[in-house]
Amino acid sequence: MYAIIKSGGKQYRVTEGATVEVERLAGDVGQEVEFQDVLFANDDNTVAAGNPSVSGARVVGTIVAHKRGDKVLVFKFKKTKMYRKLQGHRQNLSEVTISRIELPQKDQE
């Protein structure tokens, strides 16, 4: 079973028990978080695709750690004017362990 969720403007493919690095989430370490923007979900016998998201589906996880990503260097240069500028950026990240994926129950007839 897997799902595709949207968090921080990016999409992530998650499975139960997996650990994902997403953009910094509000909350403390050990707190449970819920992702309601489920774009696609695949169970062994059911496929749910959203337009834009699957209604009633949610992914629940636990924040394991807050950390910072690798440094990205941005260098701007113009040779005729001898313009040089170096800038670095490190993204704030949250590490989340996915505990369960919940799909909406369909009425069985």
pLDDT per residue over 44-81, tens digit each?
Answer: 887 888 888 888 889 999 999 999 999 999 999 999 99
Model pTM above 0.75: yes
Amino acid residing at 39: L
In a domain, 48, yes or no: yes
Range of the domain at 95: 2-102
In a domain, 108, yes or no: no
pLDDT per residue over 92-101, tens digit each?
Answer: 999 999 999 9
Tokens of 45: 């016998």
Half-sphere exposure of 19 (CA within 13 A, CB side): 7
Closest CA relative to residue 19, chosen from 101, 96, 94: 96
Give the total number of structural domains in the chain: 1
In a domain, 109, yes or no: no
